[in-house]
């Protein structure tokens, strides 16, 4: 029984790390694409793609909570 618990715990932790890694890679790609936008929109583009994963999760939780 404890082996199943530890396996489940590891899976949950890996899934959390994977989500953060995917988010970070998407944000990095978005920042790279900001180079191709007009100079007047560059700062706004960088700001949109600079939200940390923790901020994203907090905002996401608030939206999900308000929809319930």
pLDDT, position 22: 83
pLDDT, position 6: 58
The DSSP result for 41-61, as a single string, is HHHHHHHHTT--HHHHHHHHH
Taking alpha carbons only, the member of 24, 34, 28, 32 closest to residue 57 is: 24
pLDDT surpassing 80 at residue 65: yes
Taking alpha carbons only, the member of 22, 27, 31 closest to residue 52 is: 27
Helix (H, G, I), strand (E, B) or coil at 34: helix
Say how far apart CA 60 and CA 58 lie, in whole Å: 5
pLDDT band (50, 70, 90) for residue 67: confident
pLDDT, position 21: 85
**What are the tokens at 30?**
């978005």
Per the structure, the complete domain to which residue 29 belongs is given by: 2-67
Q: How many structural domains does the chain have?
A: 1
Instruction: List pLDDT tens digits, range 1-59.
Output: 677 755 665 666 666 667 888 889 899 999 999 999 999 999 999 998 999 999 999 99
């Amino acid at each position: 029984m404890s082996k199943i618990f530890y396996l489940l715990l590891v899976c949950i932790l890996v899934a959390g790390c994977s989500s953060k890694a995917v988010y970070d890679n998407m944000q990095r790609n978005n920042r790279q694409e900001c180079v191709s936008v007009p100079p007047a929109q560059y700062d706004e583009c960088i700001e949109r793609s600079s939200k940390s994963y923790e901020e994203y999760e907090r905002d996401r939780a608030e939206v999900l909570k308000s929809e319930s």
